[in-house]
Amino acid sequence: MLATENSAERILETAQASVKEGLACVDAQIEEIFARAREKGKKKGEEHETDLLQKQELLRKNMMQELRVEILQSAVTTARTALEKAMLANPNFVLQVALRALSIIPDAQNVLIRVNHEDVAFLKSRKEVLLEGLERAKEVEVRADRMVARGGLIIQTQSGTIDAQIGTQLEEIANELGV
């Protein structure tokens, strides 16, 4: 009977060792599965974080562009208002605009300046001043044009046309700024 007991104990010990070994193997497999799951979860989290950061950067860029456009539009509107106030406060405003525009074309011979009807008399009274900046012109003709905004003018010569209206200049500035 001793031999049977010894044999049964050995079988039991072997079975227990096998179970222990099996459990250790299962524990190792479970640990490996958890490690892979953690790594996979970490990787997915990092990918999600990267995606969110990219979306955030895109949103920031879009908001900055929209803000830039709004600021530039506001600046153009403010400039328009300031120039209109300066025009009303300064009776020589249209003369200054004309002189700046004429300085671009000192060689012009035939010069026609179209202005708002409210500015005609004033510019006609300053023809001598207008001619001083022109080397070849003998005469400058000033005409009323209902299409020309107050304080601005359009100069026509044999070489071409210069639109020196405030609105036109501000539109060009706005276009250059991408507004």
pLDDT tens digits, one per residue of 41-100: 888 888 888 888 899 999 999 999 999 889 888 988 898 888 888 887 887 899 999 999
Assign domain 91-177 one CATH number from 3.30.2320.30, 3.40.50.2020, 1.10.3720.10, 3.20.20.100: 3.30.2320.30
> In terms of pTM, does the model score above 0.85?
no
pLDDT tens digits, one per residue of 85-104: 888 788 789 999 999 998 88
| Domain edges within the chain | 1-89, 91-177
- For 173, half-sphere exposure in the C-beta direction (CA atoms, 13 angstrom radius) is 16
- For 49, half-sphere exposure in the C-beta direction (CA atoms, 13 angstrom radius) is 6
